[in-house]
Structure 1
Amino acid sequence: MNPIDPQTFDHRTAQISTGRLYHFIDQIPKDYDPTRPPLICLHGFPDSWFGWRHQIGPWCRQGFRVIVPDMLGYGETDMPQNSSAYSTKNICNDISALLDFLAIPKAVVIGHDWGSYTAGRFALWHPDQIHHRRDVPRLSIPYVPPKEQHMSVEEMARKYPSYGYQMYFASESSTSEVEENLVPFLGIVFRTPEKALSWSKLDELITNKQINFTNDCLLNEHELQFYVFRFQRGMRGPLSYYRTTKMRFEEEKEAQLPAHLLPNLPVLFMYGTKDATCPPSAVQNAHKFISRLNTAQDRVTTQVLRFLSSLGSAQQSRM
């Protein structure tokens, strides 16, 4: 597995029971021990399975089967045109169906960005498929419970200015505008922390054609071209996640999803200290709903392995 060569990973496609075609990486270690819980990694926006390229190899070499799908609307996975397909309930049902297709009864779910939000909701919609003796590692987006009252994207942007970009992404106009400015848009999204751009300025910059791609991008030319090629397919799918706010609220209210995750479920949350969309108050609030929440500001690959190892050791000591 070479992180700079996507073809060195084990690619698969499957028509799952929800009717969707999913593309995914299924990396199985040599001498795999099936008693070890598989890891399923969920990416965010705007990304693909490729966003986990540096973690798949190290985790696989430590004996874990690593499954990384292109989420709905991304890469080689189906891209429905109706935004309702991208509600978290539907996405969680897809992930559940993918695990069923692979005959995996329980897995450790790891998520980043939208994938982090989805991982938390997967633990509510499909708690029986979460490996309770392990954990749900989450990156960037802290757990928030189902809301008692609906808050529109506009209200959220007024209350939390750092989420102003979501109002733009939720608008239909953003689809064509981002598609027309794909390379500079990716340059903004993947900027180095020192050159981070306020998301509240994104709409203005794109509308006025003021985006300039610079050398401040975290991606090298090869990586950038990978993403450009994948997103040339269209941005309606990826942006549709931001257009499901009300639907998510209604689905969760109807199902009466609980606010708290299961008390025996350990959760690792990792976040960036310079991430304006992840304030310390949000991290602290998550402790109210997750009894076994661990937080870290560390390198993803090693920290997740360390946490999985510590849980395994704790189990052995109780046996």
Structure 2
Amino acid sequence: MEKIEHTIVPTNGINMHIASIGTGPVVLFLHGFPELWYSWRHQLLYLSSLGYRCIAPDLRGYGDTDSPPSAASYTVFHIIGDLVGLLDHLGIDQVFLVGHDWGAIVAWHFCSFRPDRVKALVNLSVPYLPRNPAINLVEGFRALFGDDYYFCRFQEPGESEKDFASVDTAILMKKIFAIVGPQPLCVPNGFSGLQTPDSLPSWYSDEDINYYATKFNEKGFTGGLNYYRACNLTWELTAPWTGLQIKVPTKFIVGDLDIVYCIPGMKEYIHNGGFKKDVPNLQDVVVMEGVAHFINQEKAEEISAHIYEFINKF
């Protein structure tokens, strides 16, 4: 880990923290919620040892990157603007793109807005969710799961922040990293009501938990929650891209215990042709058995090998 370099880069009106290591073709890693560049620590070391330049930013609102106060500053246009500005600042023309959770959502949009900057895509956990012109994502989830679904609960400014603050941050991170499917994540008592695991899974340590806890104690969770709160605005602004296919060469990996994979209708979409229709250059779908949502950390070596196997073709 000490070989990883940390830099602050000005981009799109903010200062962005990036972790980077290695030389060669560039792999850009995009983390999810509630995570950091740190979620990709294993992949950074693995792929840099095989001749790649690996870059993992703290996305807008996270870690050591600036956190604008308004939720309206967290649409996918802002996030992708940050990333394009980052690549421009570093003099990078094209990248291999790897995303997980919210990072995967951003990566899908990145490939729709700027496919010229992406050689190939490896996305984890969240498949392409084409824009429904009839209903936005938040109301779609509300209709499917009700007001207690986490995506809906996160919409109210300050509510989830209070919920998170009621629990020690290290304990909260343990609760979140222990989440598995198949039930949708409906939390009538908030995330603080989730059961604390009796012991740490083998894939993360007290050191890992403390790193996340320290950074979220410094920054808070509002920046990450603002991605959810900007969803409706993103839906409004992306109307011109309705029906657009993602044509970047793509590999998709998901765990069979992932709460996203267990959403009603998701498996059918992924496996019965809908996903391939929306992403015609989808070249591989991998379902890993016995694996939950935080797949890039839970099965770090396997995910690193999957990424390498795919991007090494190009």
TM-fit CA distance, 1:303: 0.8
Q: Aligned pair 1:306/2:309, yes or no?
A: yes
| Matching residue of 1:295 | 285
Q: Deviations over 1:170-224 (max 9, x none)?
A: 222012211332233212211175xx695544342557x6754531455311111
1:168 is displaced (CA, Å) by: 1.5
Match of 1:24 among 18, 40, 44: 18
Tell me the residue number matched to 1:246. Answer: 232
Percentage identity across paired residues of the two chains: 24
Contact 1:59–1:305 (CA under 8 A) maintained in structure 2: yes
Indicate whether 1:226 and 2:226 are aligned. no
Q: State the SS of the aligned residue for 2:105.
A: helix
Flag the 1:303–1:206 CA change in 2: closer, same or farther, 3 A: closer
Moved over 3 A (4+): 160-163, 196-201, 209-214, 255-258
Q: Which amino acid aligns with 1:25?
A: A
What amino acid is aligned across from residue 178 of structure 2 in structure 1?
A: R
Name the amino acid aligned to 1:305: Y
Q: Structure 1 83/227 Cα, relative in aligned 2: closer, same or farther at 3 Å?
A: same
Distance in 1 (CA, whole Å) between partners of 2:82 and 2:42 is 25
Partner of 2:32: 44
> Which stretch shows the higher mean deviation, 77-86 or 216-225?
216-225
Query: Which stretch of structure 1 is more off in the superposition, 297-306 or 60-69?
Result: 297-306
Structure 1, unaligned stretches of length 5 or more? Answer: 313-319
- Cα 1:19–1:205 shift into 2, 3 Å: closer
Match of 1:149 in 2: 134
Distance change (3 Å), C-alpha of 1:216 and 1:198 = farther
Q: In the alignment, which residue of structure 1 is the partner of 2:92?
A: 104
Which digits, 9 at most, give the CA deviation of each residue in 1:269-308, with x for residues without a partner? 0001111312312323211111121111352111111112
> SS at the partner of 2:215?
helix
Give the 5 Å matches for 1:27-176. 27-29=21-23, 32=24, 37-131=25-119, 135-151=120-136, 153-160=138-145, 164-172=149-157, 173-176=159-162
Which residue is 1:315 aligned to?
Answer: none
Alpha-carbon distance in structure 2 between the residues aligned to 1:130 and 1:162: 37
Q: Does the CA-based 8 Å contact 2:132-2:242 persist in structure 1?
A: no
- The structure with the larger Rg is 1
Alignment partner of 2:223 out of 216, 220, 237 = 237
Distance in 2, matches of 1:149 and 1:99, equals: 35
Residues 8 and 16, structure 2, Cα contact 8 Å, conserved in 1: yes
RMSD over aligned Cα atoms: 2.3
Q: Distance in 1 between matches of 2:186 and 2:132?
A: 28
| Alignment partners' CA distance in 1, 2:198 and 2:173 | 11
Question: Which residues in structure 2 correspond to 1:258-269 (within 5 Å)?
Answer: 258-262=243-247, 265-269=248-252
Q: Which residue in the other structure is 1:11 paired with?
A: 6
Q: Structure 1 residues 206 and 305 mapped into 2: Cα distance closer, same or farther (>3 Å)?
A: closer
Deviation, 1:75, is 0.6
Task: Give the Cα–Cα distance (whole angstroms) in 2 for the partners of residues 145 and 107 of structure 1.
Answer: 23
Of 276, 280, 288, the residue aligned with 2:259 is 276
> Helix, strand or coil for the counterpart of 2:189?
helix
Matched residue of 1:23: which SS?
A: strand
The answer for the alignment partner of 2:199 in structure 1 is 215
How many correspondences in the alignment? 290
Counterparts of 1:176 and 1:296 in 2: how far apart (Å)?
Answer: 38
- Residue aligning to 2:163: 177
* SS of the residue 1:202 aligns to: coil
Change in 2 beyond 3 A, CA 1:162/1:28: farther
Q: Which ranges of structure 2 fall in alignment gaps of 5 or more residues?
A: 289-301
Partner SS state of residue 199, structure 2:
coil
Using the size of structure 1 for normalisation, the TM-score is 0.84
Deviation at 1:61, TM superposition (A): 1.1
Change in Cα spacing, 1:288 to 1:238, as seen in structure 2 (3 Å) is same
TM-score by length of 2: 0.85
Going from structure 1 to structure 2, the CA distance change for 1:74 and 1:205 (only over 3 Å counts) comes to closer
CA–CA separation in structure 1 for the residues paired with 2:209 and 2:268: 34
